[in-house]
Chain A
Amino acid sequence: MDNNAENRLIPIGEAAKMLGISIDTLRRWDKKGVFPAIKSPSGHRYYSRVKIELHSSELYTIAKNWMTAKNNKPPVPDFYCESQPRFQSRLMKMQTLLEQSETALPWFSLIILAIGEMGNNSFDHNIGNWPNIPGIFYAFDLKNGQVVLADRGRGVLTTLRNARPELASDVEALRVAFTEYISGRTPEKRGNGLKSVRAVVETAPISIVFRSGNALATLRHGEEMRIEKTEEDISGCLIELRYK
């Protein structure tokens, strides 16, 4: 087997960690030909580093395809958190992997904070009101420092109109969500989820792309937040966080 740096083959356990999925899923994908492994003479599965990187860069596309699909199927089980406890459990797993990483970032807790706030927002704001599929898509790729979250919920505008009926557009709703302490769960007075996420980006080298409806917010460390209107209109929220 070729083991030079560029073409190094990665054992199944390491590949599973990089993709944030289980070894069993990789075995299943291999058997079905979805993501074939390279087998050693002794039968162990290995993966090409390049292919894993290509696969993981597709996380955003996988999430977007799920959000925009006409059917009402949930995402693949490894990326699906149907409930808040499941999300919490997978978030803690990611936290442990970040904490134990050889190149652990001193501010890794801010990554977990931001993901926790955004993921829990999806649950808190859609409980009992999911239009079709309850729960969220949550996938991470530690090698490339990428996290993708998505939900097929009601979106930020509908949620915030509970507290601000005068909000007229998705762009306006995202601006309010990222700049004001407001709760979409009126009469509850507190609310700080997305503004906290913005504070995280101001504190650490993290960038976030947040889409809801036809609005797109781009938050980059050291830059002004940008919110713009997009051609495409998506139901729910689609988020990509990068920290490398």
Chain B
Amino acid sequence: MQIILNKFGTTLISRQAGKEAYAAFTQNLKSLGGTEPVEVDFEGVVTFSPSWGDEFLGALADNYGERLTLVHVGSNPSVLLTIKILEETKKSKFRVLL
């Protein structure tokens, strides 16, 4: 399953918005196959913050850790910094494709 982040907006900042985004997407995740990979696509994201990321990516990592890959991460400084911060707080690395 591919999750296109820019469908949630291009400025992904508040904890509350991240929580709501994950809750809204839960329905889609129900159709996920048992071993199906989960790809989170960062194409087009302008600002990505640790609070939003914690609520959305953190929840995905908790539930689908081994199957999760971040794609089109690119060179956006807020995306790169947020991924680094989330890895520090989770004490584990994401699988990342630039």
Contacts of A117 in B (CB 8 A): 13, 49-51
Contact between B78 and A113, CB atoms less than 8 A apart: yes
Which listed segment binds A: B23-31, B33-41, B64-72, B81-89? B81-89
A residues with a Cβ closer than 8 A to B are 84, 88, 91-92, 95, 99, 106-107, 109-110, 112-113, 116-117, 120, 124, 181, 190, 192-193, 195-196, 199-200, 203-204
Size category of the binding interface on chain B: 20 to 34
Bound-state CA distance A113–B81 (Å) is 10
Q: A190-B58, A203-B77 are in contact. Are A84 and B14 (CB under 8 A)?
A: yes
Q: B85 is contacted by which of A95, A106, A109, A196 (Cβ under 8 Å)?
A: A196
Bound-state CA distance A95–B45 (Å) is 12
Q: A95-B46, A95-B47, A192-B54 are in contact. Are A120 and B76 (CB under 8 A)?
A: no
Bound-state CA distance A84–B17 (Å) is 10
Contact between B47 and A109, CB atoms less than 8 A apart: yes
Smallest beta-carbon distance A89→chain B, Å? 10
Contact between A203 and B11, CB atoms less than 8 A apart: no
Contact between A112 and B85, CB atoms less than 8 A apart: no
Contacts of A84 in B (CB 8 A): 14, 16
Question: Nearest 7 pairs between A and B by C-beta?
Answer: A109-B78, A116-B13, A112-B47, A109-B47, A196-B50, A113-B78, A120-B14
Contacts of B17 in A (CB 8 A): 88
Bound-state CA distance A91–B16 (Å) is 16
Contact between A120 and B11, CB atoms less than 8 A apart: no
Question: Assuming A88-B17, A112-B47, what are 20 further A-B pairs, CB within 8 angstroms?
Answer: A88-B11, A88-B13, A88-B14, A91-B11, A91-B13, A99-B46, A110-B78, A112-B46, A113-B47, A116-B49, A117-B50, A120-B14, A181-B89, A190-B58, A192-B50, A192-B54, A192-B85, A192-B89, A199-B81, A200-B81
Bound-state CA distance A99–B76 (Å) is 13
Q: A109-B46, A190-B58, A192-B54 are in contact. Are A124 and B15 (CB under 8 A)?
A: yes
Contact between B13 and A113, CB atoms less than 8 A apart: yes
Q: Is B56 an interface residue (CB 8 A)?
A: no
Contact between B48 and A113, CB atoms less than 8 A apart: yes
Q: Give me 14 A-to-B residue pairs in the complex whose CB atoms sit less than 8 angstroms apart, sorted by A's number.
A: A95-B11, A99-B46, A109-B78, A110-B78, A116-B47, A116-B51, A120-B13, A124-B15, A192-B51, A192-B54, A192-B89, A196-B50, A196-B81, A199-B85
